Chains A and B, each alone.
Chain A
Amino acid sequence: MSESPNQSQTETTAESPKQRNWAEWMTFIASSSILLTLIGLIIYDWLLTQQSPPILEVHPQGVVEIRQEQFYQPFLIKNVGGNFAESVQIVASLTINSPEDMEVGEQQISFLAAGEQKSGYFIFTHDPREGELTMRVASYR
């Protein structure tokens, strides 16, 4: 990149007020478009988003993975409501034969925005496919 034209230009422009050249006008037009697009998207989001409270759905997802004799059950949690939720607590319980023979796992998701979904794993010592697996959202803030 040759330096002298830029340097001379910057030096001269620093000295005196000048008219905008067409490159600067193009920059302004592009900049206005970017800013207006952002404002438009915010208004679109404002008009279309239902400002309902968080509605949290959790369910098992995918296949159970076996790693070193432990069973990894994937899950997916989604906030289908119109507002965010903090400290979302998910509880999963696996009953194999009787209620006494139950494994319980807990997860805490620190933040879930409206429309956001997150995934994770519960780890059991028994195969979830051979028992009754229940997952529910216990609380949020």
Chain B
Amino acid sequence: MQDSSSPNSVWQAELLNLLRGASGGFLFGLPLLYTVEVWWIGSSTTPAWMLLSLGITFFVIYLLNQSEGFRSSLDIQLIDALMETVEAMAIGIVCALLALILLCRITLDTPLNEALGKLVLECIPFSIGVALARSTLRGDRVPRTVKKTRRLPKNSIFQALIADLDATLIGALIVAFSIAPTDEVSLLSASISPLWLLLIIVASVIISYCIVFVAGLTNQKERRQQQGLLQRPINETLICYLVCLLASALMLWFFQQLSWDDPWQEWLSETIILGLPATIGGAAGRLVI
């Protein structure tokens, strides 16, 4: 076991804090990314408005950091809150930039002012998500009684798996149900290449893993100790991702965004694109429900 003050341990703890912040950012910020009006408003925003938006966001994050934050520390001295505000905004900016690149909203052809406008507007919910990471990813504010009732002695492996799938489905529905009927999914699908779809799959799995097994505060250890082949972190992440993809396809079919006459490529790309917010919702569901 490493000493908690050793360089590796210090970096490990800090990396954990940053991943927790990023997970909170994706959880809060990604749904707003699936809004075409936000892309347009971002594209038409003037530099003065961008600076004003950043200033207002900084103030809001600072207020949130008085009681919240992405670090596990509850230290809320003035200087710490200010420094954590800078960090939360930087994490929000990086996450928003990655998400915008992932969904091809910022490419090498995007003019600078358009890219900056989109980034500034999208980094607001991401930064708020970072600032709320500690409380949202804590999993609970009260002792987990529900979790205990799930883990009955008989067939506990299957019951834990079914409970996880249940929570994944509920979380995926909460986040993706409001995105599925919109035109944004087909708009994104039309502009994203197969290679980019592979990147979205990889990003979905990594973000989901980070939210549940890296960023979660309270039940992370408990989750890692769950028995059974299907309950291992990577297996659970992959199974829940497949469930989210299935749920995404069904939601798109339910809202008549996809029909049986559509080519399979359209089913695949739209399902993967909706699968990203669904997976993040599913991961949050497993933490919270």
Q: Which residues in A have some Cβ–Cβ distance to B below 8 Å?
A: 1-15, 17-18, 20-24, 26-28, 30-32, 34-35, 38-39, 41-43, 45-46, 49, 51, 84, 86, 110-111, 113-117
- A35 contacts B13, CB within 8 Å? no
* Shortest Cβ gap from B60 to chain A (Å): 15
**Total number of B residues with any Cβ neighbor in A under 8 Å:** 52
Which among A5, A6, A13 is the interface contact of B71 at CB below 8 angstroms?
Answer: A13
Q: Restricting to B14-38, which residues have a CB under 8 Å from any CB of A?
A: 14, 16-18
The 5 closest A-B pairs by CB, nearest first: A115-B111, A31-B90, A46-B47, A10-B72, A23-B14
- A116 contacts B90, CB within 8 Å? no
- B2 contacts A49, CB within 8 Å? no
Q: A31-B90, A32-B86 are in contact. List 18 more A-B contacts (CB 8 A).
A: A2-B1, A2-B2, A4-B1, A6-B12, A7-B221, A9-B13, A10-B16, A17-B73, A31-B91, A38-B120, A39-B51, A42-B54, A42-B120, A45-B112, A51-B46, A86-B40, A111-B43, A113-B113
Q: List 28 A-B contacts (CB under 8 A).
A: A5-B2, A6-B9, A7-B220, A9-B4, A10-B16, A10-B217, A14-B73, A14-B74, A15-B74, A17-B77, A23-B10, A23-B14, A30-B90, A34-B90, A34-B94, A35-B86, A35-B93, A38-B119, A43-B47, A45-B113, A46-B47, A110-B40, A111-B43, A111-B44, A113-B43, A114-B113, A116-B43, A116-B110
* Bound Cα distance A2, B214 (Å): 11
- B18 contacts A27, CB within 8 Å? yes
Q: Cβ of B266 < 8 Å from any Cβ of A?
A: no
* Shortest Cβ gap from A11 to chain B (Å): 8
Which among B13, B54, B114 is the interface contact of A38 at CB below 8 angstroms?
Answer: B54
Q: Restricting to B32-64, which residues have a CB under 8 Å from any CB of A?
A: 40, 43-44, 46-48, 50-51, 54
Which among B16, B48, B77, B119 is the interface contact of A46 at CB below 8 angstroms?
Answer: B48
Q: Cβ of B109 < 8 Å from any Cβ of A?
A: yes
- A42 contacts B220, CB within 8 Å? no
How many pairs of A and B residues are in contact by the CB < 8 Å rule?
130
- A5 contacts B119, CB within 8 Å? no
* Bound Cα distance A14, B120 (Å): 32
* Shortest Cβ gap from A137 to chain B (Å): 18
Do A5 and B12 form a contact, CB below 8 Å, given A27-B87, A111-B40?
yes
Q: Which residues in B have some Cβ–Cβ distance to A below 8 Å?
A: 1-4, 9-14, 16-18, 40, 43-44, 46-48, 50-51, 54, 71-75, 77, 80, 83, 86-87, 89-91, 93-94, 109-114, 116-117, 119-120, 214, 217, 220-221, 224
* Shortest Cβ gap from A39 to chain B (Å): 7
Q: Which residue of A lies closest to B53 (CB)?
A: A42
Question: Which residues on A sit within 8 Å (CB–CB) of B77?
Answer: 17
* Shortest Cβ gap from B104 to chain A (Å): 14
* Shortest Cβ gap from B54 to chain A (Å): 7
* Shortest Cβ gap from A42 to chain B (Å): 5
Question: Which residues on B sit within 8 Å (CB–CB) of A26?
Answer: 14
* Bound Cα distance A41, B119 (Å): 12
- B221 contacts A3, CB within 8 Å? yes
- A14 contacts B72, CB within 8 Å? yes
- B44 contacts A17, CB within 8 Å? no
* Bound Cα distance A51, B11 (Å): 46
Do A117 and B109 form a contact, CB below 8 Å, given A21-B10, A23-B11?
yes
